[in-house]
Amino acid sequence: MAGLCKTLTSVLFEYDTSKVVHIQSKTIGIINRLIQLSIICYVIIYVIIYEKGYQDTQKPYSSVTTKVKGVSSTNLTPELNDSFPLYNGIHVWDSADYIVPPEENGAFFVMTNMIITPDQSQGACPEDPDLTDVKCYNDSDCEAMEPTHYGHGIKTGRCVKADRGDKPHLKVCEIYAWCPVEIDELPMQHFNLSPGVPLLETENFTVLIKNSVQFPKFKQSGRNIPSDRDPSYLKKCTYDPDKDPHCPIIKLGTIVKEAGEDYKTLAYKGGVMGIIINWDCDFDPLTYSCEPKYSFRRLDDVEAPIAPGYNFRFARYYEKDGKLHRTLFKAYGIRYVVLVYGQGGRFSVVPLFLNLGSGLALLGIATVLCDIVVLYFMKRKTYYRSKKYQVVNDPDDDDERGHLLYTDEKK
């Protein structure tokens, strides 16, 4: 208990103050000046000049619109003698066909592969036998009005022969649905698609990207279409990272290639690509610059073992014999997402003084590092430590200790 009280007294009633010790040593003097010089160079060269620590900054407000152009064709000739309504033979696809939906916010989708299920209508038909819960032996295995899990419709209560598959006696539950149901396999069955990618010509399609940015703090704005070019510039330019890096018209194949991907492989099951526009703007009069820089990368997981690629379904409806019909598309393709980053800056005394003040505060590191060298690594570290630290007792707190101290000083 006495030891604890002594410790508490020591903590509560003692005071530490700085003591200036002037060490005349060439070694420690050189170390001290080198550290100070390094800190000063870091602040001036890196923080102030390279990182433009003298500027006030703001992130841009951005808007993006896109327009894709190009024409592709398919020749979906059945290997069998069954019909393929509306899409048999040579079929031309333009931007109204393969851009689904027509407009997105900061993105666009280009269909490159597909599974087409033509001439569907509402009715009763066998469910897809590849599903796990639709195989049956008799009607009692198919509960009426029960939806099929991950399937296409609602069970009618009948067990019928499957309309596809290699097993001739296979039975499945009949369903109310859009019939016939989709055959979800790539490439499309019964058609001779040698590359497996019907719209592979999309590699040569182009996209015009119109990007506008604003910096309200500095009353500045910018646009990725160069304003100093003649009106015919957009009719003859195509983006090239070396020859024309500022052209806003970019080939889709160039985007994929610059990201290090193979277009044919990507187009088979689809994916997500990023078009990154970076604005690094300097609004100081003497060094004014504000131009976009483009870069590209793949955004989805290339190595995903489950559900790779990108796809969705949409339908086109029409009337036939007074009944509603549709053609169902399972669209595989590449979704291009336009990402805009950047920063604008202009000279301001406030960030300049803040960075200079922070730099001056860093000079205190030199003293700390030199103390460590002197007290722990120098040959005369014990001697320096005795000069660095001094304990002074107050005679008024302890008369006897004060008397001894006074007597000692007289000697």
Binding-site residues for ATP, in ranges, read 67-69, 206, 311-313, 330
CA 241 to chain CA centroid, nearest Å: 21
CA distances from 229 to 232, 235, 236, 246 (A): 8, 12, 12, 11
Q: Which residues are annotated as a binding site?
A: 67-69, 206, 311-313, 330
Question: What residue type is assigned to position 404 of the chain?
Answer: L
Asked if 258 and 320 count as a contact pair (C-beta separation under 8 A), the reply is no
The tally of CA atoms less than 13 A away on the side-chain side of residue 75 is 3
DSSP per-residue string spanning 189-234? TTB--TTS-TTGGGGG-EEEEEEEEEEGGGTEEEESS-TTS-TTHH
The pair of three-digit structure tokens given for residue 196, joined into one six-digit string: 């497996």
Q: Return the closest-CA partner of residue 333 out of 300, 304, 306, 305.
A: 300
CA distance 330 to 117: 8
